[in-house]
Amino acid sequence: MLFGEIKTRRPIRWGMVGGGRGAQVGYSHRSAALRDNSFQLLAGAFDIDPEAGKAFGQTLLVSPERCYADYQTLFAEEAKRADGIEAVTIATPNNTHYAITRAALLAGLHVICEKPLCFTVAEAKELRDLAAQQNRLICVTYGYAGHQMIRQARAMIAQGDLGEIRIVQMSFAHGFHSEPVELANPSTRWRVNPEVAGPSYVLGDLGTHPLYLSEVMLPQLQIKKLLCSRQSFVKSRAPLEDNAFVMMEYDTGAMASMWISAVNAGSMHQQKVRVVGSKASLEWWDEHPNQLRYEIQGEPARVIERGMGYLYPEAQVDDRVGGGHPEGYFEAWSNLYYRFAMAIEAMDNGNPDLIDELCIPTAEAGYEGVRWVENCVRSADQGGVWVDYQ
């Protein structure tokens, strides 16, 4: 159970690029990083507009002289200080992630980057290699992975509670962009512009989330082949898709499917992962993250609840309030962020083996997300055909 105690020797000195006032995801990072005193926000280049960024930083209690005009100045000036930042979060639109991550690593910083880590597999490999050379960590914020029931699912599958895994059915299909809302909303506008969003919209923006959850739950499965069909139901979004279907075959012969959509009218999120085994199935839904459905063939379905003594130990370590009280999105992010702090400290102490035990999305997860999108786009652009996973 967590009681808000710091998990590292001291808070990591931390800065942010992006996540300014009005940004969609900036507050999620700050709320998570500051929650358990894992990080201390000391500097930033918070906004593409330097003046807006400086003004906003001060409302977060960052000293005026450490609210910088851009990320280049942030990294250069902080490197000169004895108390300069040690880690930076990058919460800017997709097309900036590669350059900012690269610059941060070269400046000797640990990086927490939003997904997608970059646009191409070649870039992802380069960043992964650079991080290794610089002895720095890259973390990627697949925030849903911090939910306790994801750990329970992972443990149940590892213990054989489902039997042999046969089918994985995933979705992340909301309805918020059923209309061309991008005409009025800047946070959506760049998402449907390939120059800023990259080679996909919903595949990268949404699909990589359940994909990462499936990797956490089912680390033993490797995708062998994949077929993707993608559509732009709001025509002005072409060539980027606002809906896609993906089928996958794993090396074990198990099969998976994923429905990814921003035009599922009326739906809030519909992010679900259902794992079907030879004996039983389990299902997690992000709109009810404290519960896991467990369905044994021939028995009444069960609802497993967060915060209960019957859970596997790994599903109990992040319990903050006991069973019955709902925990949610912000707690999941905090659970990842305190682990990011522990991983950074482990790296600095020359103890990288601990990072595997922390089960966090690192450069490898960032690379896998970019790789999956690249394979999906390759299949879709050939007309929706099976392609070998590269």
Residues that bind ligand NAD (CB under 6 A): 17-20, 23-26, 45, 47-48, 71, 91-94, 96, 114-115, 141, 143, 187, 205
Closest CB 118 distance from ligand NAD, rounded Å? 11
Residue 302's SS3 state is strand
Closest CB 333 distance from ligand NAD, rounded Å? 8
Q: Which residue has the tokens 């003004």?
A: 55
Give the count of beta carbons closer than 10 Å to the beta carbon of residue 386. Answer: 13
Residue 226's SS3 state is strand
Closest CB 8 distance from ligand NAD, rounded Å? 23
Q: Closest CB to ligand NAD among 188 and 231?
A: 188
Closest CB 127 distance from ligand NAD, rounded Å? 15
Q: Closest CB to ligand NAD among 263 and 276?
A: 263
Q: Closest CB to ligand NAD among 200 and 379?
A: 200
Residue 345's SS3 state is helix
Residue 177 φ/ψ, nearest 5 degrees: -115, 35
Closest CB 370 distance from ligand NAD, rounded Å? 12
What's the token pair of residue 80? 């000169």
DSSP letter at 11 equals P
Q: Closest CB to ligand NAD among 18 and 207?
A: 18
Q: Which residue has the tokens 């902080």?
A: 78
Closest CB 52 distance from ligand NAD, rounded Å? 7
- Dihedral angle at the C-alpha atoms of 299, 302, 308, 309, nearest 10 degrees? 10
CB of 138 closer than 8 Å to CB of 363: yes
How far apart are the C-alpha atoms of 290 and 306, rounded to whole Å?
5
Q: Closest CB to ligand NAD among 285 and 312?
A: 285
- Angle (deg, nearest 10), helices 71-80 and 97-106: 10
CB of 84 closer than 8 Å to CB of 14: no
Residue 29 φ/ψ, nearest 5 degrees: -65, -45
Q: Closest CB to ligand NAD among 17 and 42?
A: 17
CB-based burial, 33-55: b 16+ in 10 Å, e otherwise: bbbbbbbebbbbbbbeeeeebbb
Q: Closest CB to ligand NAD among 147 and 316?
A: 147
Residue 27's SS3 state is helix
How far apart are the C-alpha atoms of 260 and 270, rounded to whole Å?
9
Q: Closest CB to ligand NAD among 212 and 250?
A: 212
